[in-house]
Structure 1
């Protein structure tokens, strides 16, 4: 994100400086669009193309020359698209051609010079770079190459046999923001580690020395050891940036448009029952890390269930009269826009659950081994399961399985266009009879 902001600032300065040199003003003549207008036409297109081309990310800091080529190609495409728009829009005569040429030249120089500067500056700004690959050793001998981030599962208290929320959070904390997690373990524990790794956003692999005999059967390798890829990580780095930009844009617009509703709801909650306006509860987020979710308080403050140990029932005595309306209309979920802006949640994704939530008599992860796979992506305010009607209490195991099927379908087939379709589909199901 720092590199993207720096690129856009560079383009802004380049076209503003071109405007100053050619026309003598930053603003330009009233009858002639100036360099800042050209910047406004090129910058958004460049940002999307650069993200798609992989200009940004941890690896780009090490591959400066390759990143320069990708950035220049993305900028050239943005310029060509602008020229097409200018031609078909018949506005060429209104443009200062010299300002355009000088601005493009300054921009290319700026983008080229910025890459090595950012490669040096970003590590100094954020400190030690997160490890791209982390190796977890579980009860087997393993000699790692120099510089490897090596973790001992026993020392860290990570036991993949325990498929609970605490163990998932401990694993996520240990690997940090690694993009690749490799596990060396006994063959009898491969299945347990396979389940555990699926909860991570990172790509998960398991070292399988036995595959050395079957060279054609290798799926990947780490330091010349064959690995079995058991978790792919649903989003590439550029996809995460696109999804984050989508989240911030939609959350920002929603905050402006819904501010009257938010204020009136806050006032109604405060005046009709004693206690705080917002309800905070620990939920499982991306990588099964715990975060505090925000909702408008809908229960009496002395009966609030922070652990979600008891499912809400129809005509639940804990729910206030205003709270029942807020739940039925989904207005109680609106404060989660703050969670999106903070980065804990997305606009669209699997709904976050409390660690103690149950389907009938079992905890969620005890019902289906695939449960942790839904945590490899940020949870959302809305999701595919919700627009399909899979919401409300999970009184039976099938209630959880139905929404889990939709969550896993979303995770494996993500696209920003699907997010947009789900947002519009959500508008049709805001009011529903399964919320109580």
Structure 2
């Protein structure tokens, strides 16, 4: 049994049936909303086309309608029209749908004018179609919100309350509750396995609320910032101050201390970029990777791949894959000893593949599995040190970087911050770059980092 298995043994790894059902229902309801929008567009414009051409509709008109539906889906997704909040808030739902439809209509008109086919447009049918679509779109959105609020209430989030020495408000009794003392769960920033245990529990929830003693609030806040979840701490005394970053749990005030840096739409775009690039790159590089694997086997005895525990998104531990570049008997599974420029643990083939970053290629498999992304903060070994001090003890903000998936490359790497961490500033520089990336993420920035990575594949600090 691995350390990870031991770390979570005897602890809840799944939410209650009610919370699981609520989370599943949210996904299915969002999918239903997408289908309802598509049906609204189809019905609305079909009505307009039937007015213009009763009894028959040309294939060209149907293909144009299908293209419009695809454009609308893309715009609506970008415009947060399928955010779970649109299932319970009629105002937000209708506003997002109308803005998305207006943007789709604008794109359609620009395409028509660019192609100079305005003279062939059935203007009356188009007008009827627009009016009908708006009416059907708003009607179905209001109906869905009404049904969801009557059957599920105003909230669809799966909530967890962790009690660590604090009181349990009566309003919390409807949520899943874990007693940290009974479960031996601690906000220990010096214990990666404890953080992995917490991350394993939180992955099944949308929101976590901590009820703890005042002296533990700061530490819990630091833990939650890297957990990739809406994290809050109950602070009853804050209710009189009226700060802006305050939520409530059934009427009990809570202070918002963390939030996942990427919303659903941005996570989907980032994942789509990963898949779109990783699959063809793996296919193209497969012969070269096989050749490297053969050379590794011929050069020294042992496995082709080196697997090591690394800290991933939400402070959850995963196993990173690399081509083995060291002798098996001297490999450092915990990463406590940084690789030196003249390190005699490195094999002959290993020295070449490390210098050219070829040893990192198997991480494309981690990306495909969803453990990593192409771009993000580099995952570090649990025993990594800057000088003689563990990374997370140099700066407690180190845990914040785990709010995103770790990456094969990142902002720190293209700025030249790689190689051994012999001094404190070596990890501080990387951490600053990681936090800058975390707070300023954009898909365009990811593309730019990938383009610039080619310039640092061979680097003086790579050995």
TM-score by length of 2: 0.76
In structure 2, what is the Cα distance between the partners aligned to 1:290 and 1:328? 27
Matched, 1:435 2:440: no
Instruction: After TM superposition, give the deviation of residue 201 of structure 1 in Å.
Output: 0.7
In structure 2, what is the Cα distance between the partners aligned to 1:130 and 1:332? 44
Q: Give the match for residue 362 of structure 1.
A: 389
Matches within 5 A, 1:141-160: 141-145=167-171, 146-160=173-187
C-alpha change, 1:251 and 1:114, in structure 2 (3 Å) is farther
List per-residue Cα deviations over 1:99-125 (Å, max 9, x = no partner).
99999989997998799899999xxxx
Q: 1:313 aligns with which of 340, 357, 362?
A: 340
Show structure 2 runs of 5+ residues with no match.
1-26, 50-55, 149-154
C-alpha change, 1:240 and 1:266, in structure 2 (3 Å) is same
Q: Give the match for residue 393 of structure 1.
A: 420
Instruction: After TM superposition, give the deviation of residue 208 of structure 1 in Å.
Output: 1.6
Q: Give the match for residue 87 of structure 1.
A: 113
Instruction: After TM superposition, give the deviation of residue 379 of structure 1 in Å.
Output: 0.7
The question of whether the paired residues in 1 share the 8 Å contact of 2:88 and 2:145 is answered with no
C-alpha change, 1:191 and 1:71, in structure 2 (3 Å) is same
Q: 2:100 aligns with which of 55, 74, 88?
A: 74
Q: 1:281 aligns with which of 308, 315, 324?
A: 308
Instruction: After TM superposition, give the deviation of residue 362 of structure 1 in Å.
Output: 1.8
Instruction: After TM superposition, give the deviation of residue 288 of structure 1 in Å.
Output: 0.9
SS at match of 2:285: helix
Instruction: After TM superposition, give the deviation of residue 408 of structure 1 in Å.
Output: 0.9
Show structure 1 runs of 5+ residues with no match.
122-128
Q: Give the match for residue 234 of structure 1.
A: 261
CA RMSD of aligned residues (A): 3.9
The question of whether the paired residues in 1 share the 8 Å contact of 2:86 and 2:145 is answered with no
In structure 2, what is the Cα distance between the partners aligned to 1:360 and 1:280? 24
Matches within 5 A, 1:264-413: 264-413=291-440
The question of whether the paired residues in 2 share the 8 Å contact of 1:144 and 1:150 is answered with no
Q: Give the match for residue 75 of structure 2.
A: 49
C-alpha change, 1:83 and 1:362, in structure 2 (3 Å) is same
Instruction: After TM superposition, give the deviation of residue 202 of structure 1 in Å.
Output: 1.3
In structure 1, what is the Cα distance between the partners aligned to 2:146 and 2:414? 43
In structure 2, what is the Cα distance between the partners aligned to 1:274 and 1:321? 13
List per-residue Cα deviations over 1:353-394 (Å, max 9, x = no partner).
111222221221122111111111111111111111111111
List per-residue Cα deviations over 1:277-313 (Å, max 9, x = no partner).
3222211000110111122222233433322232222
Greater CA drift, 94-103 or 46-55: 94-103
The question of whether the paired residues in 1 share the 8 Å contact of 2:353 and 2:359 is answered with yes
The question of whether the paired residues in 2 share the 8 Å contact of 1:7 and 1:111 is answered with no
In structure 1, what is the Cα distance between the partners aligned to 2:312 and 2:374? 13
The question of whether the paired residues in 2 share the 8 Å contact of 1:131 and 1:177 is answered with no
Matched, 1:191 2:218: yes
Matched, 1:221 2:247: yes
In structure 1, what is the Cα distance between the partners aligned to 2:371 and 2:121? 44
Q: Give the match for residue 178 of structure 1.
A: 205
The question of whether the paired residues in 1 share the 8 Å contact of 2:90 and 2:145 is answered with no
Greater CA drift, 266-275 or 347-356: 266-275
The question of whether the paired residues in 2 share the 8 Å contact of 1:131 and 1:149 is answered with no
Greater CA drift, 249-258 or 55-64: 55-64
Q: Give the match for residue 11 of structure 2.
A: none
C-alpha change, 1:349 and 1:341, in structure 2 (3 Å) is same
SS at match of 1:156: coil
Instruction: After TM superposition, give the deviation of residue 349 of structure 1 in Å.
Output: 0.8
